[in-house]
Amino acid sequence: MTGRRGLSSVNLTFLGTASAQPSLTRNHSALALRLNSDVWLFDCGEATQHQVQRSKVKMGKIEKIFITHTHGDHIFGLLPLLAIDRIEDPRTHMIQNSSVPIEIYGPFGTRAYVRNGLKYTHTLLGAPYVMETIPPLPFMHPESLNGRNIPQTNGVWSDVYRDSIVSVSAAPILHSVPCIGYVVTEAPVPGKMDPAKYIPHLKRTKTPMSVMNRLQQGESIELSDGTVLQGPLKRPGRKLVILGDTYDPSPIAELASSADLLIHEATNAHLPALDPHTKAEDTFESVEARTKSRGHSTPQMAGAFAARIGTRQLVLNHFSARYPGNDDVDPTAKTIMEDIARLAGEHYSGKIICARDFMSFDVDVPQEHA
| Catalytic site positions | 73
Q: What is the CB neighbour count within 10 angstroms for residue 117?
A: 17
C-beta separation of 316 from 264 below 8 A: yes
Cα separation, 223 vs 201, whole angstroms: 8
Write the CB contacts of 191 (distance below 8 Å, at least 6 apart in sequence): 218, 231, 232, 233, 234, 235, 370
- Which residues, listed in sequence order, are joined to residue 134 by a DSSP beta bridge? none
What DSSP character marks residue 233?
P
Are the CB atoms for 56 and 360 separated by under 8 Å? yes
**Secondary structure class of 225 (helix, strand, coil):** coil
Whole-number Å distance between alpha carbons of 232 and 19: 45
Helix, strand, coil content of the chain in percent (nearest 5): 25, 25, 50
Q: What is the DSSP letter of 60?
A: G
